[in-house]
Amino acid sequence: MTLGVALAIAVAQGCENRDAQGLGPAPGTTATARPSSGATLSVDSLNTVGHSDSGLGPALGNPPAVDWPNRSYPDPAGGPTIQLHDGHSTDGGAPVTLSAVLPARYRDAPATLVVLRRVEGAVPVDLVQLYAFTGTAPTLIAGRASTANPEAGAVWRVENGALVREERVDRTGAVSSTRYTVRPDGSLEESWPGAGVSGSTN
């Protein structure tokens, strides 16, 4: 595991420990994914509020420990299994990095939201996955492939029953948000405030 990935995971877990003690997040605990191909974990624990009918909400306590930077993942877009080592893909295809790990709650049980970023030419694609746990083993609940803005940095957070990706373009200051909610059938739905809703996959 690289030092950067280990530190980012420690930051995310540290935020949860403070919340569990009623202390709130420590200053400077938000790490932002910049528009680059590095395996930077994006964690925003400052706005993990709300719990809607989707069953998705902020974490209560620590979920089971999982070595997210060193494991295999299914491809929500239907491609071959993705194997990560130190947060980076090891096969010869388009490069994939571990972009975000957010502890969460799904239907009042521990869960984790994992985002992988794949760069296909000039277009980055975020592979969003929701995991619940069977004992201490992660079980995939839903996954979705979502095109990202190649010029923007992204911050991820759990807010009002949804996973939110906020993208900001430093050059222009433009900000856009994408919301991912869990449908009753367990699939992920993608929407944009003020715009429409995209179809879902799982």
Question: What is the structure's pLDDT at 54?
Answer: 57
Question: What is the structure's pLDDT at 7?
Answer: 35
Positions of E strands within the chain: 56-58, 72-73, 82-85, 88-89, 96-106, 109-120, 123-134, 137-147, 153-159, 162-168, 175-182, 188-191, 197-201
Positive or negative, the CA dihedral 80, 84, 85, 87 is: positive
Question: What is the structure's pLDDT at 55?
Answer: 83
Tokens representing 117 are 């970023």
- The tens place of each residue's pLDDT in the chain, 202 residues long, gives 443 434 344 434 443 443 333 333 333 223 344 444 333 333 333 333 444 455 899 998 889 999 999 999 999 988 899 999 999 999 888 999 999 999 999 999 999 999 999 998 889 999 999 999 999 999 999 999 999 999 999 999 999 999 999 999 999 999 999 999 999 888 899 998 755 445 544 4
Question: What is the structure's pLDDT at 17?
Answer: 42
Burial 118-130 (b: 16+ CB within 10 A, else e): bbeeeebbbbbbb
